[in-house]
Amino acid sequence: MVRTLNNEQLMAILEFSTDGIYVVDRRGITLFVNKAYEQITGFSREVLVGRHMQDLIDEGYLNESVSLQVLQAKKKISLLQKIKQIKEVIATGNPVFDAEGNIEMIVTSVRDVTKLNILQNELSKTKTFSQMQNYRFSFTTDQEENKFLFKSISMKKIYEKIEQVAPFPTSVLLTGPSGAGKEVIANLIHHLSDRKDKPFIKVNCGAIPETLLESEFFGYESGAFTGARREGKIGLLELANEGTLMLDEIGEMPVQLQVKLLRAIQEKKIRRIGGEDSIPVDIRIISATNQNITSLIEQKKFREDLYYRISVIEIQIPSLAQRREDIEILIEHYFDYFCQKYRVHKEMTQETKRCLNEYEWPGNVRELKNVMENIVTSIPDGCIEPYHLPYRVQYSLHKSMSNLKKRMEQIEKQIVREAVVNHSSLRQASKYLGIDHSTLIKKIKRWEQQQ
């Protein structure tokens, strides 16, 4: 015989839960709060029960409500919540539906992660990744979005070269047009090296203000200059120790910093600003640029000795227009990727695929990826037709077709001209060309009027 629990027993179980329990009705009004929630948040149930969640947010009890989000999305949602800007909790809201499929209530479990986050932050400080800012970041290599895909012989040769050089700590310079995939290739090099479990830090040399470059790269000691942090700061080179540092847009790096970077690479030591001790660093450097470094050297904008240090292995990445065999596989991959990411089912017609394959892709893989996301997210129809494509794609294809027609007409004129010159009459020329005599006369008259 199966016994069922009565309401009193269920309430007792909820009260004994070490996780906070918070229940609201379909309107977002608080119905129940257990003892653990009171202990975690410091709020008494007398203050909360009967109150609407939006009112509690407006009064500063919470920074946001998972219950309100669940009511809107009608599905389970988890988020990191702040309580009075002091405590951090993980709140997971679960919708409870009635027999008609309508939300009857939201049951939210709340777990205090304040101490855990403090420990994680301390660990992050130890590893120094907590100091990363918008223009630099670390990332992993197992993302579907950053897959290295190719069919072309040129990219196959590049992949084989990467496999060969990746295990060695040799410096690599990646050159090629913007959006061609330099970052993905740098990612692959790191992943195939014995440093794959160590830091991989990417720096956009053109995005860091020049006044901050030295302190960002080398760090500084406490009180090194006005405005410096009291605890000092660990620099990027120190952050990347034992790992890989990608210097994106290295052609934008000021010459003064190039000198100091060269010294650090040669000596394998750095010194923080305001510091006296030399800190040993073991870094594999991957540089990337879409500029002509040789030209920059001639203009005295880039040091030749640094160039030789960073380009022990130089890999030139062709534009997408130069490796058209890769376009189809990239289109398929990113279209499927964004369909899965946004949980939508869409298809492309064969004509749409043909148009995308014929497009020149001046923005390279980055543009292709953005166009795929665009048509997946912005087109309500389930089937993508050529007229759904962005205007620039349609205009470029139309212009290309117009140019093709003009070139074909020029060829036709040349063939007709030679036939007319080499035959004694237009009738003989038309017979040679395999067209009607009247058709040849019309063509000649039309061309004369165009001149």
In the chain, what are the domain boundaries?
7-116, 128-316, 322-389, 410-450
Specify the higher pLDDT residue, 271 or 276.
271
- Written as six digits, the tokens of 125 are 């400080």
For residue 412, name the pLDDT band (cuts at 50, 70, 90): confident
Task: Report d(CA 340, CA 334) in Å as an integer.
Answer: 10
The answer, yes or no, to whether residue 63 has pLDDT greater than 90, is no
For residue 142, name the pLDDT band (cuts at 50, 70, 90): very low
For residue 411, name the pLDDT band (cuts at 50, 70, 90): low
**Fold of the CATH domain 128-316:** Rossmann fold (3.40.50)
Which pLDDT score is estimated for 373?
95
pLDDT in tens, 203-250: 888 888 877 888 888 888 776 665 556 667 788 898 888 999 999 999
CA nearest 139: which of 215, 246, 238? 246
CA nearest 427: which of 414, 439, 410, 445? 439
- Mean local confidence (pLDDT), 146-159: 87
In contact, 386 and 396? CB cutoff 8 Å = no
Task: Report d(CA 243, CA 241) in Å as an integer.
Answer: 5
In contact, 90 and 162? CB cutoff 8 Å = no
For residue 428, name the pLDDT band (cuts at 50, 70, 90): confident
Phi and psi angles of residue 43, each rounded to the nearest 5 degrees, phi first: -100, 135
Q: Which CATH class is domain 322-389?
A: mainly alpha
Which pLDDT score is estimated for 3?
63
- Mean local confidence (pLDDT), 374-379: 93
Angle, alpha carbons 39-43-45 (nearest 5°): 95
Q: In the chain, how many H helices and how many E strands?
A: 19, 17
Q: Best-predicted range by mean pLDDT among 205-209, 231-235, 266-270, 389-393?
A: 266-270
Name residue 201's beta-bridge partners. Answer: 138, 245
Specify the higher pLDDT residue, 145 or 38.
38
Which pLDDT score is estimated for 224?
62
Tell me if 7-116 shares its fold with 322-389.
Answer: no
For residue 367, name the pLDDT band (cuts at 50, 70, 90): very high
CA 198 to centroid of chain Cα atoms:
21
For residue 312, name the pLDDT band (cuts at 50, 70, 90): very high
Which pLDDT score is estimated for 370?
94
Whole-number percent of the chain with pLDDT over 90: 39
**Fold of the CATH domain 7-116:** Beta-Lactamase (3.30.450)
The answer, yes or no, to whether residue 155 has pLDDT greater than 60, is yes
Which pLDDT score is estimated for 121?
46
For residue 141, name the pLDDT band (cuts at 50, 70, 90): very low
The answer, yes or no, to whether residue 11 has pLDDT greater than 70, is yes
- Written as six digits, the tokens of 175 are 């050159």
